[in-house]
């Protein structure tokens, strides 16, 4: 059985330097809610990666569901960031690393 994850790269927008603690609080609450719903595999900020704030790896049923979640991300919805979304086929011991 194929397994897919969806990788959201959060890219800093022109106003990213104006992000407030309130915005970050909304961002974190969103992550907490998604995690509680079992929709997040992994997430976190980047250090030393110019222009990219962080990433979220979604465990959703489809690319379309992951994209809908990207659009609801407060950093994106409030105009501080944009995103790219990629489908990642999982290669692991369960599927013999896709051999």
Q: Per-residue pLDDT tens for 51-63?
A: 999 999 999 999 9
Q: What Cα–Cα distance (Å) separates residue 27 from each residue in 24, 32, 69?
A: 5, 9, 12
pLDDT at 99: 95
Distance CA 96, CA 73 (A): 34
Domains and CATH numbers, the chain: 4-91 (3.30.70.1060)
Q: What is the mean pLDDT of each successive set of 10 residues along the chain, which is 99 residues long?
A: 95 97 98 98 96 98 98 98 98 96
pLDDT at 34: 98
pLDDT at 19: 97
Distance CA 23, CA 21 (A): 5
pLDDT at 42: 98
């Amino acid at each position: 059985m194929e397994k897919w994850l969806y990788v959201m790269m959060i890219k800093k927008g022109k106003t990213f330097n104006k992000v407030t603690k309130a915005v970050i609080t909304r961002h974190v609450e969103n992550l907490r809610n998604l995690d509680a719903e079992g929709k997040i595999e992994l997430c976190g900020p980047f250090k030393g990666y110019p222009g990219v704030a962080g990433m979220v790896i979604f465990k959703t049923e489809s690319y379309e569901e992951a994209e809908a979640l990207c659009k609801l991300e407060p950093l994106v919805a409030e105009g501080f960031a944009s995103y790219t979304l990629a489908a990642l086929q999982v290669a692991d011991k369960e599927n013999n690393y896709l051999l």
